[in-house]
């Protein structure tokens, strides 16, 4: 799995925990990094309790020693996965697999890490009448996370995952980052190995688009005429790229990016091209720009806004992102759109003509709502769900890019398009299908990667009336706070991972104790 550039290196002078360390050297709340044999171990002190767990996150190997300890959990600094210090369980996505745990022994003032413990597994959810079978529509972030959680929680009924994709659930964020840049091989992309589905008795049906849903008969019909009955259902159909017709452009020169196949098609085209026009200066467009620069393609970004990503991050961060990309050779045409394409000539609305063999469009996505609309579910620019992620139809849940849920911090219904949110909603929906009645109170979080810079975003701010910058954006050391009526709605950080985790934790605390 890829390591994130720019992460601080951990000290090479790591204590050997088998030989013991002094109790006083283990800092409360952060933990001490050391080794047991060949393995890196994090030793954590919580008052009188001591825990030893694997020091690398099972998502992308983030350094847990640089993360945040909250209660008996440790959170990863990179993408905020959360692990139990007691059992090692990955309690929150984007990690699914546990970290190992070791037995700890204290002798006077010295602490020793002893043998590795057997994985404890997750506490099963016991329900008197679990659903007879569960169908998940969508083989993406939310769908896979739900399937994983159903089995983790001991659900033994049938689980079917219907996916319109031709590929099993994949690490979608990577498709515009390392994979597109050529630094992640194909086999990093599937979220689970091929035999995982059969091992967990998950009936994954690919190339299978659901076209009709009857919530009274509890029946789904797919494009090929097959029908599936369900006891409980999760709608996790995600989103589709917005298609922008470009006058004169041929299908063989225009590309969108959502699926593994899309990313491979761009890579294949880039192999014989020198120049690209990227239409759109938001996350996907600019990640594509960065990745294609890594392939030495001349990148020209055309977008109507004044600053890249201005709508979501404001002008200050937008200006920084522009400079960052320009320093890597990207040329921007802002305040413009494409007027006409004629072969390799791309004419802009301002009249200028630029050259490109191909065009990648990243102009936003639209939630995939056709099925929910056909089924007559309550909608509001997304599928409306309650705090348990249940739709207006009993036994039917929705998660991910399609779901609009009540944000407990503001009371407003929100819908976001973030990987971690989709996965965490999938996990909560799965538990609720088994009767857990868990409210989805997760604080939205996303990250975006541009060259060696990761931008982390916590919270949700569609509109703000002030932006406060702490630190220096250009020096890549900052926390940017977006406020409305004096209230912090969201915080962007660059190389302040711990602060990002602290903000998330504080926002969660506000939900618990408003």
Binding site for ligand FES (CB under 6 A): 57, 59-60, 62, 76, 78-81, 94-95
| H or E element, residue 505 | helix 497-512
Distance CA 300, CA 330 (A): 6
Q: Which does 293 bind (CB under 5 to 8 A by kind): ligand FES, ligand FAD, none?
A: none
Q: Which does 232 bind (CB under 5 to 8 A by kind): ligand FES, ligand FAD, none?
A: none
Contact flag: residue 238 with ligand FAD (CB under 6 A) = yes
Which tokens in the block code for residue 494?
Answer: 């660059």
Pairing of strands 101-107, 90-92: unpaired
Work out how close the CB of 116 gets to ligand FES at its nearest, in angstroms, rounded to a whole number.
21
Phi, psi dihedral angles at 196 (to 5 degrees): -60, -40
Q: Which is nearer to ligand FAD, 150 or 368 (CB)?
A: 368
Nearest CA-CA partner of 32 in 1, 10, 48, 6: 10
Q: Which does 78 bind (CB under 5 to 8 A by kind): ligand FAD, ligand FES, none?
A: ligand FES
Work out how close the CB of 421 gets to ligand FES at its nearest, in angstroms, rounded to a whole number.
14
Contact flag: residue 401 with ligand FAD (CB under 6 A) = yes
Q: Which does 339 bind (CB under 5 to 8 A by kind): ligand FAD, ligand FES, none?
A: none
Residues 255 to 294: which contact ligand FAD by CB under 6 A? 257-258, 284
Q: Which does 62 bind (CB under 5 to 8 A by kind): ligand FAD, ligand FES, none?
A: ligand FES
Distance CA 464, CA 481 (A): 10
Work out how close the CB of 248 gets to ligand FAD at its nearest, in angstroms, rounded to a whole number.
26
Distance CA 269, CA 271 (A): 5
CB 314 within 8 A of CB 292: no
- Radius of gyration for the alpha carbons in the chain, expressed in angstroms and rounded: 24
Among the listed residues 134, 150, 162, 249, the single contact to ligand FAD using CB under 6 A:
162
Q: Which does 94 bind (CB under 5 to 8 A by kind): ligand FES, ligand FAD, none?
A: ligand FES
Among the listed residues 59, 153, 172, 460, the single contact to ligand FAD using CB under 6 A:
172
Q: What x/- string results for residues 101 through 140 when contact with ligand FAD is judged by CB under 6 A? A: ------------------------------------xxxx
Work out how close the CB of 267 gets to ligand FAD at its nearest, in angstroms, rounded to a whole number.
13
Q: Which does 76 bind (CB under 5 to 8 A by kind): ligand FAD, ligand FES, none?
A: ligand FES
CB 159 within 8 A of CB 147: yes
Contact flag: residue 4 with ligand FAD (CB under 6 A) = no
Work out how close the CB of 61 gets to ligand FES at its nearest, in angstroms, rounded to a whole number.
6
Distance CA 64, CA 75 (A): 7
Q: Which is nearer to ligand FAD, 165 or 407 (CB)?
A: 165
Which residues have CB under 8 Å from 114's CB, separation 6+? Answer: 18, 102, 103, 104, 105
Nearest CA-CA partner of 82 in 501, 484, 418: 501
Residues 86 to 105: which contact ligand FAD by CB under 6 A? none
Distance CA 146, CA 36 (A): 34
Q: What x/- string results for residues 441 through 460 when contact with ligand FAD is judged by CB under 6 A? A: -----xxx------------
Q: Which is nearer to ligand FES, 76 or 289 (CB)?
A: 76
Which tokens in the block code for residue 430?
Answer: 């799965």
Work out how close the CB of 257 gets to ligand FAD at its nearest, in angstroms, rounded to a whole number.
5
Contact flag: residue 68 with ligand FAD (CB under 6 A) = no
Distance CA 510, CA 514 (A): 5
Distance CA 277, CA 224 (A): 37
Phi, psi dihedral angles at 117 (to 5 degrees): -95, 155
Q: Which is nearer to ligand FES, 62 or 318 (CB)?
A: 62
Contact flag: residue 419 with ligand FAD (CB under 6 A) = yes
Q: Which is nearer to ligand FES, 293 or 424 (CB)?
A: 424
Number of Cα atoms under 13 Å in the Cβ half of residue 123? 9
Alpha-helix residue ranges (DSSP H) falling in 279-379:
283-294, 310-327, 370-374
Alpha-helix residue ranges (DSSP H) falling in 400-472:
419-433
Residue 70 CB: number of other CB atoms within 10 A? Answer: 17
Binding residues for ligand FAD, per CB under 6 A?
Answer: 137-143, 162-165, 172-173, 175-176, 209-210, 236-239, 257-258, 284, 368, 371, 400-401, 417-420, 422, 446-448
């Amino acid at each position: 799995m890829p390591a994130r550039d720019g992460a601080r290196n951990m000290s090479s002078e790591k204590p050997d925990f088998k030989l013991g360390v002094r109790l006083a050297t283990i800092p409360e709340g952060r933990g001490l990094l050391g080794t047991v044999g060949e393995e890196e171990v994090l030793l954590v002190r919580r008052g009188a309790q001591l825990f030893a767990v694997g020091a690398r996150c099972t998502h992308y190997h983030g350094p847990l020693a640089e993360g945040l300890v909250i209660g008996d959990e440790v959170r990863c600094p990179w993408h905020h996965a959360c692990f139990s210090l007691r059992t090692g369980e990955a309690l929150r996505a984007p990690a699914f697999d546990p970290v190992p745990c070791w037995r700890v022994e204290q002798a006077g003032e010295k602490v020793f890490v002893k043998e590795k413990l057997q994985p404890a597994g997750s506490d099963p959810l016991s329900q008197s009448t679990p659903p007879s079978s569960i169908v998940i529509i969508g083989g993406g972030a939310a769908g896979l996370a739900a399937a994983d959680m159903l089995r983790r929680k001991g659900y033994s009924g049938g689980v079917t995952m219907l996916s319109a994709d031709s590929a099993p659930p994949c690490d979608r964020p990577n498709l515009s980052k390392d994979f597109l840049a050529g630094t992640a091989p194909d086999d990093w992309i599937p979220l689970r190995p091929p035999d995982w589905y059969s091992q967990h008795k998950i009936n994954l049906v690919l190339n299978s688009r659901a076209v009709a849903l009857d919530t009274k008969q509890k029946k789904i019909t797919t494009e090929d005429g097959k029908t599936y009955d369900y006891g409980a259902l999760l709608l996790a159909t995600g989103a589709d790229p917005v298609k922008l017709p470009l006058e004169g452009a041929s299908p063989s020169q225009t590309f969108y990016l959502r699926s593994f196949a899309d990313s491979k098609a761009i890579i294949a085209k880039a192999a014989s091209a020198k120049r690209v026009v990227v239409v759109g200066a938001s996350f996907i467009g600019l990640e594509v720009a960065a990745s294609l620069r890594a392939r030495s393609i001349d990148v020209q970004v055309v977008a109507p806004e004044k600053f890249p990503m201005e709508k979501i991050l404001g002008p200050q961060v937008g200006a920084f992102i522009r400079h960052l990309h320009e320093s890597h050779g990207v040329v921007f045409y802002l305040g413009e759109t494409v007027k006409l394409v004629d072969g390799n000539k791309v004419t802009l609305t301002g009249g200028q003509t630029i050259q490109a063999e191909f065009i990648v469009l990243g102009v936003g996505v639209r939630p995939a709502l056709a099925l929910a609309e056909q089924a007559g579910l309550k909608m509001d620019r997304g599928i409306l769900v309650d705090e348990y992620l249940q739709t207006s139809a009993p036994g039917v849940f929705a998660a991910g890019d399609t779901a609009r849920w009540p944000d407990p911090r503001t009371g407003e219904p929100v819908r976001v398009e973030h990987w971690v949110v989709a996965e965490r909603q999938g996990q909560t929906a799965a538990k609720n299908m088994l009767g857990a009645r868990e409210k989805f109170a997760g604080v939205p979080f996303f990250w975006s990667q541009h060259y060696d810079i990761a931008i982390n975003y916590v919270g949700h701010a569609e509109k703000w009336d002030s932006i406060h910058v702490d630190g220096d954006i250009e020096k890549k050391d900052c926390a940017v706070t977006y406020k409305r009526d004096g209230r912090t709605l969201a915080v962007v950080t660059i190389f302040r991972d711990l602060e990002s985790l602290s903000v998330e934790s504080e926002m969660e605390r506000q939900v618990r104790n408003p």
